[in-house]
Amino acid sequence: MDNHHGARKIDVLLFDDINLLDAAGPVQAFEAANTDGRARYRTRYVSLDGGPVRAGCGLRLVPDGTLCAAANGADLLIPGGAGVDALTGNPDLHEIIRKRAETQYRLISVCSGALVLAAAGVLNGLAATTHWSREEDTRTYPEVNWDLDRINITQGRVFTSAGVTTGIDLALSIIQADCGPKLALAVARELVVQLRRTGGQSQYAFHLAGQFAKGEALSQLIEKVVATPHLDWSLDALADAAGMNARTLTRRFKRDTGETPAQFVEKVRVDHARGLLSGNMPLKQVAVDSGFGDLQRLRRAFQRQFGVQLSDYRNMFT
C-alpha cells in the first residue's frame, strides 16, 4: 500500500441529495478489506461545513468533521447524486479539490461526482467516466476525455467510475492495486459481486434490453448475441436462432429495442471490442474476437458509432 504507516485514510464527502449507494458501496468494500485484524482502510465522513446532510433517499447523515484543503494524509472520495449540481458551482470546494490534487493523495469520484472534479479542473486532459445519464452535462467540460461507456478509469492518482454500483468495482480495483488480487477476490466474494466486470455501461443496457423484451425467444436471442458476439449473427442466423422468419424478427427488434437486428449486433460487437482494446491485444485479434472478422470492418463500425478513428480512440482511452 502507498501509506506505510497504518491504514490508508479516505475522506468521504457528504452533501445534501447525495446518492447513498455511491458512498456506501465503495466504503463497504474498503471496510470488508479490513480482515485478519488488519486495518487497511479508515474512512472519515466530512461535509463542507461539518454539519449534517440529508441523502437523496431521505436518510439523515452526520459527518465526522469538516472538509478542509489540507489532505491530512487522506484520499478524497466524492460520491454522486442530485446534489452534485450545486457542488459544481461551488468555487470554495473547487479550490479545496485543486489543493488536494497537488498532494500525493488520491482523488476518487463515483457516478456524477466526476463532474465536481471536472468543474475544479483536475480532470483536464485526462480520460474519465461518469453515469451515462450525465452525457449532456459532460459537454460543459470539453477539456476532459469523457468515455461514458467505461465502468471505471484510473489516471495516475485520479479515479472515476460510472455510477452507483460501479463504485464497488472501482473500490475493488483500488484494493487489488493496494493489497493484491487475493484480498480483492475475498472482498468481492464477501460482497457477492464480480471482481472485474467485462464490457461497459452499454453492455448492461444490452442485457436489460433482453430482460425487458417481449417474448422469451427474443430475450434469449439478445442474451446470446451479447454473450457470444464473435459468432455469425447475420439476419438469417439471428432469425434461425430465434425460430422466426427474418421479417418478423426485424419487426420485433425495432419494437423492443428501437433498432434493426444489424444495428443491435454492431453495437454489441463495438462494445465488446472496447473492452478488448483496454488490454494489449493486437487490433486484428480484437476484430476477430469481437465478431467483425477483419480490421477494416471494425474501423468502419467505430467511425459510425463514435465518429472517431479506431487508432485515435485507442490512443485516447487505453
The DSSP-derived string for 107-133 is: EEE-TTHHHHHHHHTTTTTSEE---GG
* This prediction's pTM: 0.69
- Helices of type H across the chain: 20-32, 84-87, 91-101, 113-120, 135-138, 166-179, 181-191, 201-212, 216-227, 235-242, 246-257, 261-277, 283-289, 295-306, 310-317
- CATH at 66: 3.40.50.880
Last residue of a domain, which of 145, 163, 191? 191
Q: Other C-beta atoms within 10 Å of 212: how many?
A: 11
Residue 196 covered by a domain:
no
Residue 2 covered by a domain:
no
In total, the chain counts a number of residues equal to 318
Q: Are residues 184 and 76 in the same domain?
A: yes
Q: Are residues 187 and 218 in the same domain?
A: no
Q: Are residues 228 and 129 in the same domain?
A: no
Q: Are residues 85 and 124 in the same domain?
A: yes
Q: Are residues 176 and 206 in the same domain?
A: no
Letter string b/e over residues 67-97, b meaning 16 or more CB atoms within 10 A of that residue's CB: beeebeebbbbbbbbebbeebbebeebbebb
Spatial neighbors of 112 by CB under 8 A, at least 6 apart, are 19, 80, 81, 84, 130, 131, 134, 137, 163
Beta strands 158-161 and 152-155, pairing class: antiparallel
Report which DSSP code applies to 134.
G
How far is 137 from 131, CA to CA, in rounded Å?
10
Residue 1 covered by a domain:
no
Q: Give the pLDDT confidence score for residue 255 in this predicted structure.
A: 85
Q: Give the pLDDT confidence score for residue 208 in this predicted structure.
A: 53
**Does residue 73 contact residue 80 with C-beta atoms inside 8 Å?**
no
How far is 267 from 252, CA to CA, in rounded Å?
17
Last residue of a domain, which of 191, 224, 255? 191
| Cell numbers found for residue 33 | 478489506
How far is 193 from 206, CA to CA, in rounded Å?
19
Q: Give the pLDDT confidence score for residue 4 in this predicted structure.
A: 42
Q: Are residues 35 and 86 in the same domain?
A: yes
Provide the residue range defining the domain that includes 123.
8-191
- CATH at 268: 1.10.10.60
How far is 287 from 227, CA to CA, in rounded Å?
16
Q: Are residues 30 and 155 in the same domain?
A: yes
How far is 289 from 275, CA to CA, in rounded Å?
11
Q: Give the pLDDT confidence score for residue 3 in this predicted structure.
A: 43
Q: Are residues 207 and 153 in the same domain?
A: no
Domain count, the chain: 2
| Cell numbers found for residue 273 | 471490442
Q: Give the pLDDT confidence score for residue 2 in this predicted structure.
A: 43
Q: Are residues 152 and 283 in the same domain?
A: no
Residue 292 covered by a domain:
yes
Q: Give the pLDDT confidence score for residue 261 in this predicted structure.
A: 93
Q: Are residues 146 and 226 in the same domain?
A: no
Active site residues: 111
Q: Are residues 36 and 179 in the same domain?
A: yes
Last residue of a domain, which of 173, 191, 209? 191
Q: Are residues 101 and 227 in the same domain?
A: no
Cα dist. 300→226, 270, 314 in Å?
20, 10, 15
Average pLDDT for runs of 10 along the chain of length 318: 69 98 96 92 97 97 96 96 97 97 97 97 96 93 91 93 88 92 87 61 54 71 88 95 94 86 91 80 92 93 84 70
Residue 3 covered by a domain:
no
Q: At 162, is the secondary structure helix, strand, or coil? A: coil
How far is 108 from 197, CA to CA, in rounded Å?
19
